[in-house]
Amino acid sequence: MTAIAIGRQEIRAYTDVELIANAIKGREDGFEELVRRYQKQITGYVYRIVGDYDSSLDVTQEVFIKVYNSLHRYSSDYKFSTWLYRIAHNAAIDHLRRNSINPQSLETENEDGTYQLQIESPAPSPEKDREVSEWRTEIGQVIKRLPDAYKQLILLRHANDLSYDEIAEVTGLPLGTVKNRLFRAREMMRQIMLERGFGGI
Amino acid sequence: MSDVCPRDDIAAYVDGELSAKLSAELELHFAECETCGRALRQQRQFLSALSASLASEEAIELPEDFTKKIVVTAESSVTGLRGKRELLTAVLIFVALLLFSVFVIGGEYLGTMAALGGVAQKLMAAAAVVLKGLANTVSGGPVLLLFGVGAVGVIFCSSVWVIRRRNA
């Protein structure tokens, strides 16, 4: 085994906090390993929010540059991944605001703190009890059409497996709001699926 | 289902996000309340299908040189870690050069430098006298005071601005 290969193996065993310490000391491979570790998750999250592949690559790059420039401000009170998601979340939302051409950016919060779908749902299909694979495709479409405030929480929870506490930290929302919105978002999705003839799940 | 049924607690329960105490309370409630029991089953089914659906989505493909590109771009960005280290290097070089000039070439020219300093001091004193004369002809006290406070304010604000921009 070559020396470089051993080095790589070693650095893979480092914790996030050790890698950050290395990066601050000026070791470039510390930051590189952090990027390697999280780039897919972050690009995936940003892509689902932004909805465009090229933009999601740009935003992800912007996120990691921001992280690099503020590594010395990172506090190990939080998990590094939570901190990273928060930066990615804000960057994705900023991107949406800068390019607000989709009608969902016009969404407004109702008086009781709920959100509505802004796009008309297609007419429900008469067929019942569809195949599971079809259900999966359909649920993907429903997530895309959720109000942004709900979509972000659904993705953080179910695509990225963050806990309620971590989601609250990432989005800056109170824990109670996270819990309540996740519930409402899922109820909304379940209702839409029922209306579209996807019962039984 | 009554109004007191904790519907969003059911969601948190399914997610494993309720405290042990609240979970136990809710489990007692499920045993009694048929509507909540049904809501629990529906949410469980929905969530397992949702998780399966998101997990089955193909992971996003990144360009081959994506990591390298990010690392190189980050390291060439001017603020942050690299900027700080460069600033420190610059200060060290400056101090080293200053010491060098004083101790190595300074010995011989120190006298000349002192004389130059004296001339500069005299010039500054003269400038101060001229400024004071000017201020007296304008109308004295209040204007001069205003001018002084304004200048200090401008210097203070611009330093704060520069510091905040560096830290942003």
DSSP A8-66: HHHHHHS-HHHHHHHHHHT-HHHHHHHHHHHHHHHHHHHHHHH--HHHHHHHHHHHHHH
Partners of B15 on chain A (C-beta within 8 Å) are: 157, 164, 182
Break chain B into its structural domains and give their ranges. Answer: 7-56, 66-167
Same domain, A82 and A132: no
CATH code for the domain in which residue A155 is found: 1.10.10.10
Distance in angstroms (rounded) separating the CA atoms of residues A68 and A34: 10
The residue type found at B121 is Q
Neighbours of B8 (CB within 10 A): 16
Is A157–B74 a contact, with Cβ atoms under 8 angstroms apart? no
Chain B contacts to A (CB-CB under 8 A) = 7-8, 10-12, 15, 17, 42-43, 45-47, 49-54, 56-57, 59-60, 62-63, 66-67, 69-71, 73-75, 77, 79-81, 84-85
Neighbours of A55 (CB within 10 A): 17
Same domain, A52 and A138: no
3-class secondary structure, B63: coil
Same domain, A11 and A86: yes
CB half-sphere exposure, B12, CA atoms < 13 A: 20
Radius of gyration of chain A (CA): 20
- Of A98, A125, A149, the residue that ends a domain is A98
Distance in angstroms (rounded) separating the CA atoms of residues B144 and B132: 9
The residue with tokens 């930051």 is A31
Is A183–B62 a contact, with Cβ atoms under 8 angstroms apart? no
What pLDDT is stored for residue A86 in this prediction?
Answer: 92
Per the domain annotation, does A105 fall within a domain?
no
- pTM of the predicted model, to two decimals? 0.61
* Residue among B165, B27, B2, B15 nearest A179 (CA): B15
Query: Where in the sequence is the domain holding A180, given as residue range(s)?
Result: 113-195
φ/ψ of residue B64, rounded to 5: -60, -40
What pLDDT is stored for residue A130 in this prediction?
Answer: 53
pLDDT digits (tens, 9 = 90+) for B38-54: 889 888 888 888 887 77
Per the domain annotation, does A200 fall within a domain?
no
pLDDT digits (tens, 9 = 90+) for B133-160: 766 766 556 666 776 778 778 878 877 7
Q: Which two tokens stand for residue A112?
A: 């009781």
Distance in angstroms (rounded) separating the CA atoms of residues A199 and A179: 25
Of the two residues A80 and A76, the one the predictor is more confident about is: A80
Average pLDDT of chain B?
A: 78
φ/ψ of residue A59, rounded to 5: -65, -40
The mean per-residue pLDDT over the stretch A101-105 comes to: 48
Per the domain annotation, does A119 fall within a domain?
yes
Distance in angstroms (rounded) separating the CA atoms of residues B17 and B15: 5
How far is C-alpha A69 from the geometric centre of its chain's CA atoms?
Answer: 22
Between A and B, how many CB-CB pairs are < 8 A? 108
Partners of B85 on chain A (C-beta within 8 Å) are: 26
Pick B79's closest partner by Cβ from A24, A31, A69.
Answer: A69
Per the domain annotation, does A75 fall within a domain?
yes
Is A69–B11 a contact, with Cβ atoms under 8 angstroms apart? no
Of the two residues A133 and A103, the one the predictor is more confident about is: A133
Q: CA dist A13 to A1, A74, B71, Å? A: 17, 21, 20
What angle in degrees, to the nearest 10, is found between the helix axes of B34-56 and B20-32? 120
Same domain, A85 and A7: yes
- Of A69, A98, A127, the residue that ends a domain is A98
Same domain, A32 and A90: yes
Is A31–B62 a contact, with Cβ atoms under 8 angstroms apart? no
Same domain, A56 and A134: no
Is B7–A183 a contact, with Cβ atoms under 8 angstroms apart? yes
ipTM above 0.85, yes or no: no
Q: Which residue of A has its CA nearest to B86?
A: A26
Q: Which residues contact A17 (CB under 8 A, 6 or more apart)?
A: A76, A80
What pLDDT is stored for residue A105 in this prediction?
Answer: 43
Query: B144 burial class (0-12, 13-18, 19+ CB within 10 angstroms)?
Result: middle
Same domain, A129 and A88: no
Pick B73's closest partner by Cβ from A47, A65, A140.
Answer: A65
Q: What is the number of domains present in chain A?
A: 2
Give the length of chain B.
168
pLDDT digits (tens, 9 = 90+) for B68-97: 999 998 888 755 555 566 677 778 888 888
Same domain, A9 and A74: yes
